[in-house]
Amino acid sequence: MAENKDYRYSMSITSQLPHCSLPLRLDSYSKCSYRCSYCFAKNRGGNHPPKGIKTINYKSVDKLLCKSLKTENDSTKTVISQLLENKTPIHFGGMSDPFMEYEEYGQKTLETLKVLRDYHYPTIISTKGTLITKDEYLKVISQSLVATQVSFSSLDDKVSSLIEFNTPLPSERLDVIKSLAAVCWVSARLQPLIPGELDSTIEAIKTLAKAGVKHISVELLKLPLTEYSKLTTQISSAVGREIEEYYSERRLMGLEFLVNREYALLTHKELSKVAWGLGISYSSADTDLLPYDSSDCCCSGVHELPGFENYYRYTFSQAIRNALRENSKLLMYEHLSCEWAPDGPINQYVNSKSRVEDANNIIGWMAAKWNSSTKSIGPLAFYGIEETECYDNNGMKIYRISNKAFELALQLGAIPKTATKAKDKMLIPN
């Protein structure tokens, strides 16, 4: 492997900032060699084949952590520095896998993990790799404030080999889970789950629970608009049946097709029951359903782990959770503004088409998106959130939470079964 210069954006903020509880991402490498056919980074034009790969400068990460955690009352701190100061958990492996084969050469991930260990910094590692089970990695992880996530699209080795190129087989990843479970908290991500696999997924969850996972997150396969036909054909061929019927509603979020609504709801309701029956927690990781399960910290399941309490909450999904837990049928801007957010410019982290003039900070940007909500970003991007004609005294839109949304929150665990009937906060038109 020919290494290039340092990866300048090894630590950054994800574009999923409006709804993600783990927006602070860290990557050892600028590109990924696994080349999964469904990879969102690849399909959105990034993460191209490994040519001119850039690698993390772990010494720079050390300096950034030192400055962020030890310098108080510094008005010049960036958004990232403020998140670090707040001990917002880091998602390690947001754009590329930290344990792909490149790691055998320079061990950039290993050295970075040592830095994070020395600061006892809360870190969630996402991987499909097997290198993580080497003794030197397990030793560092066992000494660290680390949770791990191992990802699958299928537990079938044959299917995986046809859509997850150059990637360790699911059977190998099951062994990874067993090794990790001996030294740290470990979860499994069925992301993306291919639709039409409900029975086999139930068996997969049982297998994963037996291997030692404490949490399961499930996100159904999204199909990119630009690669829809190609990817549909490829995955249908891999599983030996057509999957296009599950996308007949043509539900678009941004530039991706989502599975049909009722199928998604059925899947999460059934799989959550299976997980709970096995004594493990569950996340419905489809973006539009994030507020409705019992895992407050997005799809990670770490919200109750000691040391991970400061997960990011200034999100539209958290605002909906706050309203649900008040049993309020009205979603108010105060349900968002009550949470903490860092200050400072964010345009460099936001898609150029999503930027807002005169709102180059998180609070201003989120406020603008609140009042101009669409099916792609803002409250209306979530299941069961409806428009009204009302505004609060500060000119912020008021939304309605449907009865179906409350029912789903009860079924998936966002609010307890003993919750009282939802109530309006004020008179609002039907």
Q: Dihedral sign for Cα 331, 220, 40, 189, please.
A: positive
Which is nearest to 37 in space by CA: 198, 190, 177, 153?
Answer: 153
Euclidean distance between CA atoms 19 and 8, whole angstroms: 25
User: Which residue matches tokens 């400061």?
Assistant: 310
Euclidean distance between CA atoms 287 and 256, whole angstroms: 11
Rounded mean pLDDT for each run of 10 residues along the chain, 430 residues in total: 71 92 95 82 49 87 92 77 96 94 92 98 97 98 98 95 93 98 98 94 98 97 90 94 95 91 97 97 96 92 95 97 96 98 86 72 94 94 97 97 97 80 52
CATH 3.20.20.70 positions along the chain are 11-292
pLDDT attached to residue 391 = 98
Euclidean distance between CA atoms 413 and 408, whole angstroms: 8
Euclidean distance between CA atoms 149 and 216, whole angstroms: 9
pLDDT attached to residue 280 = 96
pLDDT tens profile 113-129: 999 999 999 999 999 99
- Give ∠ CA 114-170-220 in degrees, rounded to 5: 95
pLDDT attached to residue 353 = 65
What's the CATH number for 11-292?
Answer: 3.20.20.70
pLDDT tens profile 319-334: 999 999 999 999 999 9
